[in-house]
């Protein structure tokens, strides 16, 4: 395939010449092998490193008094419920204050992202993310991702409290 061997000996002339060999060699097997190796390495290579989301958790406080409370007017709480449900309310849940209104939202682009963007006008906004024990890890990543998309810097991953769970139950959403 690479080169057809041409007869080097013309047959004319009485002198017996040394047979001139063609300098071309058949490279087909070599090329076959080269491409085999090429495909092998191309397919086994790990193409790209997986992407990561960086998350920095707060350093464990030495004593509780160092923590500063959040003002209710600056708080937005997201509750990640079971079956991929997402609830949110403005403000904080306190025993002496009236119960905030719980609203249902969703993880898609028109759901929580709009809510976050609306609330973003408040520069002191702190988003409290409370994943329920029955929510799955994907929900947590999704919501952290929403924080990246909406460019909200102040958010905290908080354990869900009993009263939050009760709020979801009583709301019937």
Partner 1 sequence: MPKVKPHRMSPSLDMTPMVDLAFLLVTFFMLTTKFAPEEAVVVDTPSSTSEIRLPESHVITIAVDKDKRVFFGLDDDEIKGKLLTQVGAKYGVSFTAEQAKNFRGVAASFGTPIEKLPALLNLDGEQRKLVKQEGIPSDSLNNQLIEWVVAAQSLSRQQFGKPSYVAIKGDGNADVPTVKKVIKLMQEKNINRFNLITDLETKPTASN
Indicate the SS3 state at residue 21. Answer: coil
- Bridge-based pairing of strands 86-90 and 126-131 is unpaired
Q: Please, what is the minimum distance in Å from the beta carbon of residue 147 to partner 1?
A: 10
Choice between 17 and 49, CB closer to partner 1: 49
Which positions lie near partner 1, rule CB under 8 A?
1-4, 27, 30-31, 34-35, 37-38, 41-42, 44-46, 48-60, 80, 109, 113, 117, 131-142, 144-145, 148-151, 157, 159
Choice between 66 and 159, CB closer to partner 1: 159
C-beta of residue 130 within 8 angstroms of C-beta of residue 160: yes
Q: Please, what is the minimum distance in Å from the beta carbon of residue 1 to partner 1?
A: 7
Choice between 75 and 130, CB closer to partner 1: 130
Residue of 132, 139, 134, 75 whose CA lies nearest to 107? 139
Listing from the earlier edge strand, what are the strands of the sheet with 155-157? 103-105, 86-90, 75-80, 126-131, 155-157
For 164, counting Cβ atoms within 10 Å of its Cβ (0-12 exposed, 13-18 middle, 19+ buried), the class is buried
Q: Please, what is the minimum distance in Å from the beta carbon of residue 134 to partner 1?
A: 8
Choice between 96 and 159, CB closer to partner 1: 159
Q: How far is CA 106 from CA 71, 122, 136, in A?
A: 26, 22, 14
Choice between 91 and 160, CB closer to partner 1: 160
Q: Please, what is the minimum distance in Å from the beta carbon of residue 142 to partner 1?
A: 7
Q: Please, what is the minimum distance in Å from the beta carbon of residue 10 to partner 1?
A: 19
- Bridge-based pairing of strands 126-131 and 75-80 is parallel
């Amino acid at each position: 395939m690479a080169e057809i061997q041409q007869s080097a000996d013309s047959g004319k002339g009485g002198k017996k010449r040394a047979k001139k060999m063609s300098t071309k060699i058949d490279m087909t097997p070599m090329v076959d092998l080269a491409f085999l190796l090429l495909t092998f390495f191309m397919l086994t290579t790990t193409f790209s490193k997986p992407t990561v989301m960086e998350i920095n958790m707060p350093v464990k406080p030495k004593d509780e008094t160092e923590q500063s409370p959040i003002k209710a007017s600056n708080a937005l709480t997201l509750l990640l419920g079971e079956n991929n449900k997402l609830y949110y309310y403005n403000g904080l849940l306190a025993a002496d204050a009236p119960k905030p209104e719980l609203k249902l939202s969703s993880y898609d682009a028109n759901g929580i992202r709009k809510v976050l963007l609306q609330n973003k006008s408040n520069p002191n906004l702190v988003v409290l993310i409370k994943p329920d024990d029955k929510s799955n890890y994907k929900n947590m990543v999704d919501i952290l991702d929403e924080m990246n998309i909406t460019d909200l810097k102040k958010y905290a991953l908080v354990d869900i409290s009993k009263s939050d769970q009760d709020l979801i139950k009583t709301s019937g959403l």
